[in-house]
Structure 1
């Protein structure tokens, strides 16, 4: 579900930054969108890793790589 959200938000940011690029703002919208998408992916990855570690402890698998 998180990956679907990432794909939808990423697509919207790319389309919005393209329209802003067409309005003579240059590459600034692409730069801002790429920075935002980087932090969005980083947050999704960190939360999914925390959930994975929590689930492994609940299941009794303490030897899973952390």
Structure 2
């Protein structure tokens, strides 16, 4: 693999990681909004967002 190919591959991985981080932030933001609006139980919010029960509980108690 050439240096250029390696750089392109690393850039692609970095872009994928950044996209995943943004998606995770949006999911957490959605869960926080649901909690603030009292839109469901912890279990329901976890189910809708795909977060774990522990993550939603931590968001609800402010232990991000």
TM-score by length of 2: 0.58
How well do the aligned residues superpose, as a CA RMSD in angstroms? Answer: 1.7
Unaligned runs of 5+ in 1: 1-23
Tell me the matched-pair count: 43
- Runs of 4+ aligned structure 1 residues displaced above 2 Å come to none
* Pairing 1:10-49 to 2, within 5 Å after superposition: 25-49=3-27
Using the TM superposition, give the Cα deviation of residue 28 of structure 1 relative to its aligned residue in structure 2, in angstroms. 1.2
Q: TM-score, normalization: structure 1?
A: 0.56
